[in-house]
Structure 1
């Protein structure tokens, strides 16, 4: 009995210690994340704007959203942004496989690939903005090797601006997902790979038949995170193009920001945020259902 009591007290003490260490982070999350989310729901049904008198307007903000040309354009751009998700996942998986090898200087390459992740998106955007300007390095290289015949304003042309910003997002995100996949690769049992090679499987067959299937839980997680990030993209668009030219790069997060902090229509901005949350939830549920049907199996 005494030993059981000591064990229970020890377990209780460990739980208390865990909560104590988590408390500062949980308090910050409660104040700056959970409370704003909860408060924004009733706010979406009002005309709150800081300036005028706040009134309950029911579903008027939502009706206005579905007839708002700019908002519809921003949603289309955000959904189009999801094109980069499979490219990020495929490239980062092969990068992880590359840096998982035991070769000289591999730690340097791992650090080099991860540097863009820890670099501020504002700094990254400014550098790429300079590289992609009319007189930038990118145009100089492409003109030198004959790929283009005249200078292109990558971020000022409505046909190329969104693609250019998407490329920057892809470039910056590769290292983050590479490290997650690298952690997954290090958990893959080596005996499976060795047995396949003994049976005559090529490196490509090992990757396709063993490595990638065993990485499916990581693929599921990374796909979900990158999809959410793609729909909510803000920093690079805000710094580089501010949604222009026209509405070519206007994303939902940027438009919500503009309505809230530039026009001061916080009620309408909250309603827009709620709509985007439902869109993200829809895609998240779809991915979870795909997982449930066996597309992704936990190992």
Structure 2
């Protein structure tokens, strides 16, 4: 009995030692990423919190101003417009998720050359935003290819300034963002689809379920983790969109494409009003957090309804 207890203790000790060694190895691999996150993400966030309550600029010493920056923000029509534009941008989130899920289903088929299509759909994701923007600015110019094709087919009678017209500029940027992000979310959904056992779908179809019923009753519920992840990522990306407006329109015409991130950038790095810029960033961060909580709550309620 004593020998058996000693053997059990030795086995437990070896198991703990093995787990500790694995944990140390894992932390060593994580360390470079953690250091980069601390330096370039967490430290700037922590530093910007007290900065939001000052009138700090590069020229003068920072002085505490309390809530003055926040009061200024909510009475600033340009910031309100940029915030509205960012919230309008959120409208592409469900559209992007639906289309990327459909694309994932399409490229999940076992047909010849499907890897080529996956690569083609993913190319915009890895292509430089600047290069993409230059191509789109050429295509969407008044004398560009898109206007020429639309006139040729009789859809329009005169050229449209897609990026210079207040009525079309924001919608055009949203389309470009949608086009560029589809491949990224498609790959996440594709990974989720390939982890679903094919036997489940086959069993449902043998029981009389159509492909559409099998998709909504089996595939969609099993894809819930990917749906929540992609929805959160695209929501945060939409609220913080910067590249496309900055490169293509600079927020114009007449601030019609000015997003909150671009407005924060302009106040911080063009006007050097870093205190006000930090306050704006804090407001946008709170909005992102609140919307993220709504998504989590909705997902939790949906899961409870399932079970």
Fold equivalence (TM over 0.5): yes
Change (3 A) 1:298 1:203: closer
Tell me which structure has the larger Cα radius of gyration: 2
2:240 corresponds in structure 1 to 232
CA distance in 2, matches of 1:288, 1:148: 44
Q: Distance in 1 between matches of 2:305 and 2:28?
A: 35
Query: Following the alignment from structure 1 to structure 2, what is the Cα–Cα distance between the partners of residues 141 and 192?
Result: 46
Among 170, 185, 194, which residue is 2:202 paired with?
A: 194
Measure the CA separation in 2 of the matches of 1:296 and 1:153. Answer: 49
* 1:109 lines up with 2:117 in the alignment: yes
Question: Which of 38, 53, 56 is 1:45 aligned to?
Answer: 53
Q: Any conservation in 2 of the 1:216–1:298 contact (CA below 8 Å)?
A: no
Q: CA deviation at 1:189?
A: 2.1
- Post-superposition Cα deviations, 1:206-251, rounded to whole Å, max 9, x if no partner, equal 2223222221221111111101100000001100000000110000
**2:153 corresponds to:** 145
Q: How does 1:128-143 map to 2 (within 5 A)?
A: 128-143=136-151
User: What is the match of residue 67 of structure 1?
Assistant: 75
Say whether residues 1:285 and 2:297 are aligned partners.
no
Structure 1 distance, partners of 2:199, 2:205, is 10
TM-fit CA distance, 1:295: 5.2
- 2:25 aligned partner: 17
Query: Any unmatched runs of 5+ in structure 1?
Result: none
Structure-1 separation of matches of 2:162 and 2:206: 50
Moved over 3 A (4+): 295-299
User: Which residue in 1 is equivalent to 2:94?
Assistant: 86
Q: Per-residue deviation at 1:298?
A: 9.8
1:208: which partner in 2? Answer: 216
How high is the TM-score relative to the length of structure 1? 0.97
Q: 1:30 aligns with which of 38, 51, 54?
A: 38
Which segment drifts farther, 174-183 or 4-13? 4-13
Partners in 2 of 1:6 and 1:205 — Cα distance?
50
Alignment CA distance shift 1:236-1:52 (3 Å) = same
Cα distance change of structure 1 residues 180 and 159 upon mapping to structure 2, 3 Å threshold: same
Structure 2 distance, partners of 1:139, 1:133, is 8
SS of the equivalent of 1:293 reads: helix
- C-alpha distance in structure 2 between counterparts of 1:242 and 1:296, whole Å: 45
Counterpart selection for 1:264 from 253, 272, 282: 272
Of the structure 1 ranges 273-282 and 120-129, higher mean CA displacement relative to structure 2 is found in 120-129
The match for 1:248 is 256
Summarize the Cα distance change of 1:225–1:296 in structure 2 as closer, same or farther, 3 Å threshold: farther
What is the CA–CA distance in structure 2 between the aligned matches of 1:77 and 1:121, rounded to whole Å? Answer: 20
Question: Out of 205, 221, 230, which is 1:222 matched to?
Answer: 230
User: How many residues are matched?
Assistant: 299
Superposition pairs of residues 177-188 of structure 1, within 5 angstroms: 177-188=185-196
In structure 1, what is the equivalent of residue 106 of structure 2?
98
> Unaligned 5+ residue runs, structure 2?
1-8
Deviation track 1:168-196 (CA, whole Å, cap 9, x = no partner) reads 00000000000111111112121221122
- Distance of 1:127 and 1:295 partners within structure 2: 43
Structure 1 vs Structure 2 CA RMSD: 1.5
Q: Which moved further from structure 2: 183-192 or 266-275?
A: 183-192
Mapped partners of 1:22, 1:296: distance in 2: 34
